[in-house]
Amino acid sequence: MNLSKILNLQKNFYLHILLDTFSFIFSLIFSFFLRFEFTFPPQYWKIFYLLLLREIPLFLIFYFLIFKIYSSLWEYFSLESLKDLVLFITLEKLLLYLSHLFFPIIGLPRSIIFISYFTTILFLFSYRALTRWLHERGRTKRYSNSSYKRVVLIGAGDAGEKILREIKSHNELNYEVLGFLDDDPKKIGKSIHGIKVLGPISSLPKIIREKNIHEVLIAIPSAPPSLIRNIINLTSKMRISIKTLPGIWELIDGRISINKIRNVKIEDLLERDQINLDIEKIGNYLKEKIILVTGAGGSIGSEICRQVAIYNPQRLILLGRGENSIFNIDLELRRNFPNIEIKPYIADIKDRNKIFYIFSKEKPDIVFHSAAHKHVPLMEENPDEAVFNNIFGTINVMDASREVRVKRFIFISTDKAVYPTNIMGATKRIGEILVKYYALNSETEFIAVRFGNVLGSRGSVLEVFRKQIEQGGPITVTHPDMERYFMTIPEAVGLVLQAGVIGKSGDLFVLDMGKPMKIIDLAKNFIGLSGYDLGDIEIKITGLRPGEKLKEELWEKEEIIEKTEHPKIFKIASPNHLDSYIFEEKLEKLESVTKTRDKEKIWEVLKDIIELSKKNYKNKEKILG
């Protein structure tokens, strides 16, 4: 019979218990033989039986009740299992030694207890190590009989070791690891679980050719963009699959595993600082609260839902007008967070009666308002829809929040609200003004958070680039000098949650987006990431579109920027007082003019409202340290 099958715990549960018990008894006998130089004086057999009678109950109590050693799988024996085994034997022998001090077995040499401590560990460990070795050996043999992907792991550290261990433990992954690459010279030539560190990362092309590698796995969480770009450049002409462990935002649970490995994304190539959050404060702020998210099916709204759900709210209310997007995020959240109550609503924020109905029924504690029209060229062609949705829809949600005494309302703004040159930016700027206005006389705390472009949102530049590459090009860029601030959606949403914690009513926050990036450079990186050379895909300059800026800014010169307790969140310290009568009069005029759908008239009233708010500014020097 195959020895690995004999030692398989799942199929031979009782046999394993018998083996452990036999090993335990035999280790005692062997200890006597070692003590007396491989003889067993006959007079010591009686002492052996007395010792066995005393120790067997201790063995059974620790083995079955305290440490439950019988329950571990031998074929997956690990350092953690070895720790439990050594601790079990140590405590059992210590208790035996103490009992011998108080109730001595006449004639028993104390050295027998110490010798048996080591022999017991040796015998119980040996069976398990042999089973693990046979199991791994059997898996290695199966490689040659299956269509396995031959992979090389970049990074011979803790993450690489964990990924390798998972690959070895799960045959269904169809991976065969041929080696590691690491730039640490101390690791080169060494082995991890029998897999050798073949050389530095620069040797990747050579290793791919020699080992016939199918896939490269970057086993370095939050790998720096420079490293990923280097790997892409090294393999650019090989059309080989490159996958990576995600950054801290996708490893929010802190667990590294093979199922977290994903394809390299353009976001991984952005040079930006790592962002840390105060998880404890955010948790205290959101836990057991009723949270409502408008635009819950959108890119930002759905990510807010995902991150909020992690903090175990009492109820999460999804509000959006697109039934498919709400259906998808509802399904995802129910699957990933089965213990959280999810309530989806299909509603348009322009429908005041429906919004008030939902708020009066659900009575949320916290509202994240991300519902908005965001496409600049489209809103230039449809200014009435931009105003009614982004301004008067926001007013509906704010009024409903105030009516049911929502504790905190967070408005999602954009860098296009800074010196707005288009309809969409102007509507979002007025949304920020509304936050200041509503904060004056309300129990609800109204807060705004402003940030720039997010990568990966629906209709974003990356989506456009992806479709253009699928069609064989060209990639279109409106201007060679166009720059934008970029942040990933999870990063932006994480900072929105943090801002919600530290904010007070009337606060307007702006996120530190790092350095702006040229769109043309983004296009070049995306071409390389897609497995093409710059000569394969043309980049075509098309000219600026209506309402489009060459560069975006995160604040205006009149705005005073102050530090907050978080290094990536700044506060715009503009005055918090408006002439309510004039402001309300301007809003009424805007509503009336918008009904005419006359873009010029709408734009004039929007500018009037923005200028009204600027009368409160005092020209002070920006503070940013």
Q: Which residues are catalytic?
A: 416
Q: Whose CA is closest to 368, among 303, 322, 462, 288?
A: 303
What token pair was written down for 70?
A: 């019988």
Please name the residue that has the structure tokens 């769109």.
Answer: 519
Q: Whose CA is closest to 589, among 389, 348, 372, 387?
A: 387
- How far is residue 614's CA from residue 556's CA, in Å, rounded to a whole number? 11
187-202: b or e for each residue (b if 16 or more CB lie within 10 Å)? Answer: bbeeebeebebbbebe
Phi-psi region of 363 (alpha: psi -120 to 50; beta: other; left: phi over 0): left
In SS3 terms, 14-65 reads as: HHHHHHHHHHHHHHHHHHHHHHCCCCCCCCHHHHHHHHHHHHHHHHHHHHHH
- How far is residue 401's CA from residue 545's CA, in Å, rounded to a whole number? 37
- How far is residue 293's CA from residue 305's CA, in Å, rounded to a whole number? 7
State the helix-helix crossing angle for 279-286 and 489-502, rounded to 10 degrees.
70
Q: Whose CA is closest to 285, among 405, 366, 362, 397?
A: 366
- How far is residue 387's CA from residue 370's CA, in Å, rounded to a whole number? 15
What token pair was written down for 264?
A: 């390299």
What token pair was written down for 448?
A: 């705004």
- How far is residue 55's CA from residue 315's CA, in Å, rounded to a whole number? 55
Please name the residue that has the structure tokens 């017991």.
Answer: 120
DSSP 3-state assignment of 222? coil
First-to-last C-alpha distance (Å) of the chain: 73
How many other CB atoms sit within 10 Å of the CB of residue 567? 11
Q: Whose CA is closest to 376, among 415, 320, 433?
A: 415
- Burial grade of 238 (CB within 10 A; 0-12, 13-18, 19 or more): middle
The sign of the torsion formed by the CA atoms of 42, 43, 46, 48 equals: negative
Are the C-beta atoms of residues 553 and 483 closer than 8 Å to each other? no
- Burial grade of 436 (CB within 10 A; 0-12, 13-18, 19 or more): buried
Please name the residue that has the structure tokens 């873009």.
Answer: 599
- How far is residue 371's CA from residue 295's CA, in Å, rounded to a whole number? 4
Query: CA–CA distance from 218 to each of 179, 194, 251, 268, 271 (Å)?
Result: 12, 19, 15, 12, 18
Please count the residues of the chain. 625
Query: For the residues of 352-398, what is the DSSP string, one character each?
Result: HHHHHHHHHHH--SEEEE------HHHHHH-HHHHHIIIIIIHHHHH
Are the C-beta atoms of residues 468 and 476 closer than 8 Å to each other? yes
- How far is residue 487's CA from residue 492's CA, in Å, rounded to a whole number? 6
